[in-house]
Chains A and B, each alone.
Chain A
Amino acid sequence: NAGVTQTPKFRILKIGQSMTLQCTQDMNHNYMYWYRQDPGMGLKLIYYSVGAGITDKGEVPNGYNVSRSTTEDFPLRLELAAPSQTSVYFCASSPTRQGETQYFGPGTRLLVL
């Protein structure tokens, strides 16, 4: 199993541009999550999904959108990128709700200039 994969690894965006961060997992996990991590900080939940077709907002959803058309994929869309969205983005998945750890992808480093 590849686990959780994310693309791209690194991207530079200009203010106002849009992009989609890709996340795929091959572990048949129902739950998937998007986090952002600013330098020296913990992870903040952006959006999460409890299954295909079901998504909900986390702590910091503004400026982002998600979709979950399949169990495997959970892309994160940035519309009108702003410098405040410069961060490292981690996608994670977990098989069940209680007691199961989340498995993290390698992260996407985004710089908005």
Chain B
Amino acid sequence: GQNIDQPTEMTATEGAIVQINCTYQTSGFNGLFWYQQHAGEAPTFLSYNVLDGLEEKGRFSSFLSRSKGYSYLLLKELQMKDSASYLCAVSGLFHGSGNTGKLIFGQGTTLQVKP
């Protein structure tokens, strides 16, 4: 079956570093996405990992280990505006003859940044 696990809530202090973990078990794997979702808004793309290792993009980095079914999102120099939910999603669930681009989402991690 398919399963994606993330912590439900995290709290961190402005200016600090926080790591949000995601573990997954899926049938077929074609990449892992991280999305940010502010309350009442649509998810927006943060990062994509398909190979093992770290992808850095400004204050945000994402890591993937396919053998361990594990990813994390690292947020540095936290700002108040980073308070949001962070969704881990896995792509590559095959249907029929090919990859449909479908994503399976975790429940999301709500991050609260405090002054």
Contacts and interface: CB of A to CB of B under 8 A. Distances in A.
A59 to B, nearest CB: 8
Contact of B105 (A43, A96, A100, A106): A43
Interface stretch (B13-21, B75-83, B92-100): B92-100
Contacts of B105: 35, 42-44
A42 B106 contact: yes
Interface residues of B, number: 28
A13 interface: no
Contacts of A94: 101
Contacts, number: 70
28 contacts: A31-B100, A31-B101, A35-B105, A40-B108, A42-B4, A42-B108, A43-B43, A43-B103, A48-B100, A50-B100, A56-B95, A58-B102, A59-B104, A90-B42, A94-B101, A97-B30, A97-B101, A98-B91, A98-B99, A98-B101, A101-B33, A101-B48, A102-B103, A103-B45, A104-B42, A104-B43, A106-B41, A107-B41
Interface of A: 31, 33, 35, 40-45, 48, 50, 56, 58-59, 90, 94, 96-107
Interface of B: 4, 8, 30-31, 33, 41-45, 48, 50, 87, 89, 91, 95, 98-108, 110
